[in-house]
Structure 1
Amino acid sequence: MYSTALLGNTLIITVICTDSTLQEPMYFFLCVLAAVDIVMASSVVPKMVSIFSSGDSSISFNACFTQMYFIHAATAVETGLLLAMAFDRYVAICKPLHYKRILKPKLMLGLCVTIISRAVISVTPLSWMLSHLPFCGSNVVFHSYCEHMAVAKLVCADPTPTSLYSLICSSIIVGSDTVFIAASYILILRAVFGLSSKNAQRKALSTCGSHVGVMCLFYLPGMASIYIAWLWHDVVPMHTQVLLADLYLIIPPTLNPVIYGIRTKQIRERMKMLLTCFLRKGS
């Protein structure tokens, strides 16, 4: 699955960066999303593979906090990008005549800088607070990676402030993003149902449905993992908590290249051209 995510997202980045015709805002956001997906998957999977293959489950203190920082920062960036892409689709479908006037390169760059800045500003205090707490007990993290709540359980002091910050910050970021994403898709669906062509309606509904499906696989397990770790960690089995925490980090990076990339006609055709050229050179 990691190989699929790595190959798929690398292909998306290569196709978009090498094709001058794929310079619309949608492809710009898709390219950034692919890069974030690579970071997200690469922060988790290689260590998981090492654990299962060699049995070496050790990780240094600094490496653990570095992994935790990149995982949570990438997650915060991803949710912001999904919102930006939903806004892009809203403008493209509901205000097509104003698309280029609204989504100018300056606005796109500003959105990306804002999304990344928000992630850094929200995640940095979280990692700083936890790293400055004393660790003097067990050093076994009951997770497949250095998940914040799991690491917070190992401290000797009261972890409530950092855990509460994580819960509130995640709820605000994800909550606000999902509200705006939902509003965008509701407006898109309203415009789609106003189309006279039934075929166009089916295509639009299929595209929107697949987008929403991938978003659900990202948001639902992620938020469920956070709230279960905070409120119901004694009720829900640990293997279920680990599975939920792994799902939102591994499944979306694998599916995003297919849902957002290969299903897009221009990218699919460009990929065929690249693969054809590669096979000809190989033969």
Structure 2
Amino acid sequence: MGFNMTFIRPTYFIISGFIGIPNISYYYIFLFFVYIVSVLGNTTVMAVICLDHNLRTPKYVAVFNLAFADLISSSALVPKVFDIFLFYHPYISYNDCLTFMFFCYACVSMQALNLVALSYDRLIAIIFPLHYQVKVTHRFMFSLIAIFWLFAITVTLIAVGFLTRYSCYKSVVINSYFCDYSMIYQLICEDKTPSFVIGYFLPVLILWIPLIFILLSYSCIGYALSKQGLKSFKTCIGHLSLVAIYFIPLLITFTLMEKIHPNARIINLSMTSVFPPMLNPIIYVLQTQEIKESVKRLLKIRGKAKIAVKT
């Protein structure tokens, strides 16, 4: 097959991201470990919130949704990566590739937007504590999350939908570990101005605007707590850790995308895709006193139940 020939609406793509990277088998083992920890951690957080009535507050509605988005994101990405590279199935049909892309980008968008919901919750709770019960209700949080899901799905559908307008591709080889929008965009040999505009504004919509809102929120929170000392800021450390883990690697990767080696970009981008879903539940369990106490209560109740059954 000649990779320089022109293709008319390819029936399949070849994902070649990890091929040729030295000692990549060790990375697969590491990726498998990260995925298992992510699934167990996010499932645990979701189960604890469902089982403990004390955690059924608007804040933990957002925490539950973040764990759900992390779980879907990891499950949409990692098993397919194993199928492509570990079991040597690099061929993926055109429609399956776009579907794969949709789930990856929709979940990534929702993760960023969910952090916005959590930052808004902290902003109202700290600056307007007397109005918190009125401003941040279950109905409000459910509506906000529903709007964010609708926005993430709509933006991703528009981006993926524009790719279906093209029928001329220079190659079918995608130099990435998944159906990467930017990599597929580079393969198009037609006028791709609409996709260029979408590709330019997509990071702005799902990364920069959420990050700016979060930074402004915590600037206000920091100013409000400046007279109370650092101890009052402890309730925000967990969420700020999530923000740093999620945004900093992505922004560095996209900012230096043209300056780093393609293999380094693939490894960096894949790690930023799987690390936040693994670390988010760990941070919330370790940093959030309510969840730690809830886990202890549930384990204590389960232990008493086992003793009662034996007796």
What's the secondary structure of 2:91's corresponding residue? coil
Q: Find 2:99's aligned residue among 41, 66, 73.
A: 66
Tell me which amino acid in the other structure corresponds to 2:67.
A
Aligned to 1:241: 265
Q: Does the aligned pair in 1 maintain the 2:61–2:142 contact within 8 Å?
A: no
Q: Does the aligned pair in 2 maintain the 1:68–1:147 contact within 8 Å?
A: yes
Aligned to 1:256: 280
Tell me which amino acid in the other structure corresponds to 2:236.
C
1:110 matched to 2:143? The reply is yes
Alignment deviations for residues 147-195 of structure 1 (CA, whole Å, 9 cap, x no partner): 1101222223233421321221321342221121111111222233322
TM-score if structure 1 supplies the norm length?
A: 0.87
Q: Find 1:271's aligned residue among 287, 295, 302.
A: 295
- Superposed displacement of residue 249, structure 1: 1.5
Q: Does the aligned pair in 2 maintain the 1:225–1:241 contact within 8 Å?
A: yes
- Superposed displacement of residue 52, structure 1: 4.0
Partner Cα distance (2:237, 2:141) in 1: 25
- Once the two structures are superposed, the pairs formed by residues 38-187 of structure 1 within 5 Å of their partners are 38-187=71-220
Q: Does the aligned pair in 2 maintain the 1:217–1:247 contact within 8 Å?
A: no
Report percent identity of matched pairs.
28
Tell me which amino acid in the other structure corresponds to 1:250.
V
What's the secondary structure of 2:187's corresponding residue? coil
1:30 matched to 2:63? The reply is yes
Q: Does the aligned pair in 2 maintain the 1:94–1:191 contact within 8 Å?
A: yes
- Superposed displacement of residue 281, structure 1: 5.0
What's the secondary structure of 2:102's corresponding residue? helix
Query: Relative to structure 2, which stretch is displaced further, 135-144 or 179-188?
Result: 135-144
Tell me which amino acid in the other structure corresponds to 2:40.
L
Q: Does the aligned pair in 2 maintain the 1:13–1:31 contact within 8 Å?
A: yes
Q: Does the aligned pair in 1 maintain the 2:98–2:160 contact within 8 Å?
A: yes
- Superposed displacement of residue 10, structure 1: 0.6
Aligned to 2:250: 222
Unaligned stretches of 5+ in structure 1? none
Distance 1:175 1:239, change over 3 A: same
- Superposed displacement of residue 72, structure 1: 1.0
Aligned to 1:16: 49
Tell me which amino acid in the other structure corresponds to 2:240.
V
Distance 1:163 1:245, change over 3 A: farther
Query: Relative to structure 2, which stretch is displaced further, 46-55 or 33-42?
Result: 46-55
Partner Cα distance (2:287, 2:305) in 1: 25
Structure richer in strand, relative to its length: 2
1:211 matched to 2:244? The reply is no
Tell me which amino acid in the other structure corresponds to 1:237.
H
What's the secondary structure of 2:98's corresponding residue? helix
Partner Cα distance (1:98, 1:68) in 2: 41
Distance 1:123 1:227, change over 3 A: farther
* Bigger RCO of structures 1 and 2 (CA < 8 A, at least 6 apart): 2
What's the secondary structure of 1:170's corresponding residue? helix
Q: Does the aligned pair in 1 maintain the 2:284–2:291 contact within 8 Å?
A: no
TM-score if structure 2 supplies the norm length?
A: 0.80
Unaligned stretches of 5+ in structure 2? 1-33
Q: Does the aligned pair in 2 maintain the 1:9–1:257 contact within 8 Å?
A: yes
Alignment deviations for residues 9-52 of structure 1 (CA, whole Å, 9 cap, x no partner): 11111111121111111101000010000111112111222344
Number of aligned residue pairs: 274
Q: Does the aligned pair in 1 maintain the 2:238–2:288 contact within 8 Å?
A: no
Q: Does the aligned pair in 2 maintain the 1:167–1:226 contact within 8 Å?
A: no
Tell me which amino acid in the other structure corresponds to 2:207.
V
Tell me which amino acid in the other structure corresponds to 1:239.
N
Partner Cα distance (1:43, 1:157) in 2: 30
Tell me which amino acid in the other structure corresponds to 1:253.
P
Distance 1:158 1:60, change over 3 A: same
Q: How much is the aligned-residue C-alpha RMSD, in angstroms? A: 2.4
Alignment deviations for residues 244-282 of structure 1 (CA, whole Å, 9 cap, x no partner): 322332111111112234421221222234456279859
Partner Cα distance (2:100, 2:253) in 1: 18
Q: Does the aligned pair in 1 maintain the 2:109–2:206 contact within 8 Å?
A: yes
Tell me which amino acid in the other structure corresponds to 1:263.
Q
